[in-house]
Amino acid sequence: MDARRQVGRHGEDVVARRLAELGWEVLDRNWRCARGELDIVARDGGCAVAVEVKTRRTGACGSGLEAVTPAKVARLRRLLAAWLDTRDERFEEVRIDAVAVTLPRAGAAQLDHVRGIG
């Protein structure tokens, strides 16, 4: 695995642990279909949440949240709908969240979680 993928994977691991600490249930990680991939799908109470994770080593090139464009949100909506089609379970609500993870040279990862981006 190349360094960039390792950084991304580490960020997803950090976010999955944080969601579990919040009492969320991680239902899927790196779910793929022909249209693309969802980083994390989790249950927050009765809500199915697609969580887009953007990990950076520094903030020099801007926040990871800046990479979540309207086109990306539209794609995530389509992917979440496709994921829901594969499930027998129904949810009261669905939403899309984004989490920017910054990995400083020393210390804990910094997370910026934005709920309901789409």
Which residues, in sequence order, are bridge partners of residue 97?
51
- The number of folded domains in the chain is 1
The pLDDT profile of the chain, 118 residues, written as one tens digit per residue, is 687 788 889 899 999 999 999 999 999 999 999 999 999 999 999 999 999 999 988 666 677 888 899 999 999 999 999 999 999 999 999 999 999 999 888 888 889 999 999 7
What is the rounded distance in angstroms from the CA atom of residue 84 to the CA atom of residue 87?
A: 5
Domain that holds residue 50: 3-114
pLDDT at residue number 1: 63
3-state DSSP assignment of residue 90: coil
pTM of the model: 0.92
pLDDT at residue number 106: 84
Instruction: Give the CATH number for residue 87.
Output: 3.40.1350.10
C-alpha 40: how far from its chain's center? 5
